[in-house]
Amino acid sequence: MIDQQKKEIRVKIKELKKKVTLEEKKRKSEVIFEQVEKRGDFKNAQTIMAYWSMDDEVFTHNFVQKWYQHKKIILPSVKGDKLELRVFKGVENMRAGEAFGILEPTDIFEGDLSEIDLVIVPGVAFDIENNRLGRGKAYYDKLLKNTGAVKIGVCFDFQLFDKIPADEYDIKMDLVIADKEYDTEGSSF
């Protein structure tokens, strides 16, 4: 039942994403990261885990490139059934990854998860109770359960619901930031 509900939401969001141009996603992403950058937990963070976005996700390239010389930026890379963490040291130090062909840093993060102060987390959908629905492989859930870092989910307004299905393995975010104020009368699945 819950798996079927998750599948239906993934299909719905995939269709909604197709209606938004890459330029519009980039513009919406700027609004999201302006909100992130105003937060005290961001300002105080020395090590931030983000992600190098795919075309259907909140666009992170500008954010990562803007901050990597001021803060240690960690990006995940898919290795088998888990995420391997790498240090971003500029686009010139990246290569296409094996799993999804996404550019990933070449330098392995040698530190400990406890060094990460803040995690910027992508998702297919989120809800106003800070639940997250990923792509279904549990890469992030496996990693996030082992970190005490502040977890900020980022999404476009159409990815934020009143309630999404979640089970005991789904790791909640501390906060979800979308590109608009959420209207509680709005989108609900």
Q: Is residue 88 part of a domain?
A: yes
- What pLDDT score does 93 carry? 92
Q: Is residue 56 part of a domain?
A: yes
Asked if residue 188 has pLDDT above 60, the reply is no
181 pLDDT band, cuts 50/70/90, is low
- Tell me, yes or no, if 127 is annotated catalytic: no
Q: Is residue 16 part of a domain?
A: yes
**CA distances to 5, 21, 71 from 129, in Å:** 17, 28, 29
Rounded distance, CA 63 to CA 181, Å? 21
79 pLDDT band, cuts 50/70/90, is confident
* Identified catalytic residue from 141, 157, 162, 174: 141
Rounded distance, CA 89 to CA 101, Å? 19
Q: Is residue 183 part of a domain?
A: no
Q: How many domains is the chain partitioned into structurally? A: 1
Asked if residue 3 has pLDDT above 90, the reply is no
Asked if residue 54 has pLDDT above 50, the reply is yes
Does 99 or 8 have the greater pLDDT score? 8
* Identified catalytic residue from 86, 127, 132, 179: 132
Q: Is residue 119 part of a domain?
A: yes
Q: Please report the beta strands in the chain, taking only residues with DSSP state E, as ranges in sequence order.
A: 47-49, 72-79, 82-87, 94-96, 103-105, 107-108, 118-121, 125-127, 132-133, 150-154, 160-161, 175-177
Average pLDDT over residues 164-188: 76
* Identified catalytic residue from 117, 127, 170, 179: 170
Asked if residue 31 has pLDDT above 80, the reply is yes
- What pLDDT score does 29 carry? 97
Tokens of 144: 């996030």
Q: Is residue 42 part of a domain?
A: yes
The mean of the pLDDT values for the chain is 90
Return contacts of 69-75, CB within 8 angstroms, 24+ apart. 71/45, 71/46, 71/47, 72/46, 72/47, 72/48, 73/48, 73/49, 74/47, 74/48, 74/49, 74/50, 74/109, 74/116, 75/49, 75/50, 75/51, 75/104, 75/105
* 124-139: pLDDT as tens digits: 999 999 999 998 888 8
pTM: 0.90
Does 181 or 56 have the greater pLDDT score? 56
> ∠ at Cα 21 (19, 22), nearest 5°?
135
- Tell me, yes or no, if 179 is annotated catalytic: no
User: Which range of residues forms the domain containing residue 119?
Assistant: 2-177
Q: Is residue 185 part of a domain?
A: no
Q: Is residue 23 part of a domain?
A: yes
Cβ atoms of 152 and 126 closer than 8 Å: no
Here the CATH number for the domain that contains residue 105 is: 3.40.50.10420
- Tell me, yes or no, if 81 is annotated catalytic: no
40 pLDDT band, cuts 50/70/90, is very high
Q: Which residues of 146-167 are buried (b: 16+ CB within 10 A; e: fewer)?
A: ebebbbbbbbbbbbbbeebbbe
- What pLDDT score does 136 carry? 82
